[in-house]
Structure 1
Amino acid sequence: MDLQLRKEFHEVLEKLSEKYGLQDLIYASFTLQYGYRNKYCAADIVYALLAILEASPRDKKPEELFNLALDCLSRSKRDVLDSAIERAKIIVKTLFTTAQSALDLKQVISAGPFVYYIIQEGCLDWYMFSHLQILLLLAHFILRAYVAVSRNRKAPSLPLVVSAPKSLDAGTCIILGIPPLCENSPKNFFGKAFEKAAERINCDSKCDYFDTSYFEIHTKDRTRFFDALTALLS
Structure 2
Amino acid sequence: LCNSNALFHCDQVQYTLVPVIGWQDLGTAFLEHKEQFHYFVLINCGANVDLLETLQPEEDSIFFICDTHRPMDVVNVYNDTQVKRMIKQDDYLGVPSYDDVLRDEDDEEEGGEDSGNESVGGSVCYTSICNSSYTSCNFKLWSMHGQKKLQEFLADMGLTLKQVKQKFNSMDMSIKENLREVIEESSNKYGMKDIRIQTFGVHFGFKNRFLANDVVHAAVALLENTEKVESPGDNFIKALGCLSRSNLERLHGGIDLAKKKLMANQQTVASCICTNLLLSQGPFLYCYLLEVLFLDVPLGSFASLLLMSAYACSKTRNKHCKLLPLVIAAPMDVEKGTVIVLGIPPESETSDKKNFLGCAFEKAAESTSSRTLHNHFDTSIIELKMDRTKFLDALITLLS
How many residue pairs align between the two structures?
A: 228
**Matching residue of 1:176:** 342
In 1: Cα distance, 2:203 partner to 2:291 partner: 42
Structure 1 contact 158–179 (Cα < 8 Å) conserved: yes
Q: TM-score, normalised by structure 1?
A: 0.90
**Matching residue of 1:224:** 390
- The secondary structure found in structure 2 opposite 1:130 is coil
Q: TM-score, normalised by structure 2?
A: 0.54
**Matching residue of 2:272:** 102
Q: Residue 40 and residue 142 in structure 1: after superposition, are their counterparts in 2 closer, same or farther (change >3 A)?
A: same
In 1: Cα distance, 2:306 partner to 2:332 partner: 14
Structure 1 contact 139–160 (Cα < 8 Å) conserved: yes
In 2: Cα distance, 1:213 partner to 1:58 partner: 28
Listed as ranges, the matches of 1:37-52 within 5 Å are: 37-52=207-222
**Matching residue of 1:130:** 300
Q: State the AA in 1 paired with 2:388.
A: R
In 1: Cα distance, 2:343 partner to 2:186 partner: 31
Q: Which runs of 5+ in 1 are unaligned?
A: none
**Matching residue of 1:205:** 372
Superposed displacement of residue 211, structure 1:
1.4
Query: Are residues 1:114 and 2:284 paired?
Result: yes
Listed as ranges, the matches of 1:160-199 within 5 Å are: 160-181=326-347, 183-185=348-350, 186=352, 187-199=354-366
Superposed displacement of residue 23, structure 1:
5.2
**Matching residue of 2:382:** 215
In 1: Cα distance, 2:191 partner to 2:344 partner: 22
Which piece of structure 1 moves more, 35-44 or 71-80?
71-80
C-alpha root-mean-square deviation of aligned residues, in Å? 1.8
Superposed displacement of residue 231, structure 1:
0.9
Q: State the AA in 2 paired with 1:190.
A: L
- The secondary structure found in structure 2 opposite 1:98 is helix
Q: State the AA in 2 paired with 1:180.
A: P
Structure 2 contact 261–297 (Cα < 8 Å) conserved: no
Structure 1 contact 127–166 (Cα < 8 Å) conserved: no
Identical columns (%): 37
Superposed displacement of residue 85, structure 1:
0.7
Higher helix share: 1
In 2: Cα distance, 1:211 partner to 1:21 partner: 34
Superposed displacement of residue 124, structure 1:
5.0
Superposed displacement of residue 96, structure 1:
0.9
Q: Cα deviation per residue 1:170-226 (whole Å; 9 max; x = unaligned)?
A: 321111111123x321211211111111111111212222211111111x1111111
Query: Are residues 1:142 and 2:312 paired?
Result: yes
Structure 1 contact 162–176 (Cα < 8 Å) conserved: yes
In 1: Cα distance, 2:191 partner to 2:361 partner: 33
Larger radius of gyration: 2
Q: Residue 12 and residue 224 in structure 1: after superposition, are their counterparts in 2 closer, same or farther (change >3 A)?
A: farther
Which piece of structure 1 moves more, 62-71 or 88-97?
62-71
In 1: Cα distance, 2:310 partner to 2:186 partner: 21
In 2: Cα distance, 1:153 partner to 1:163 partner: 23
- The secondary structure found in structure 2 opposite 1:154 is helix
Q: State the AA in 1 paired with 2:174.
A: Q
Q: Residue 58 and residue 203 in structure 1: after superposition, are their counterparts in 2 closer, same or farther (change >3 A)?
A: farther
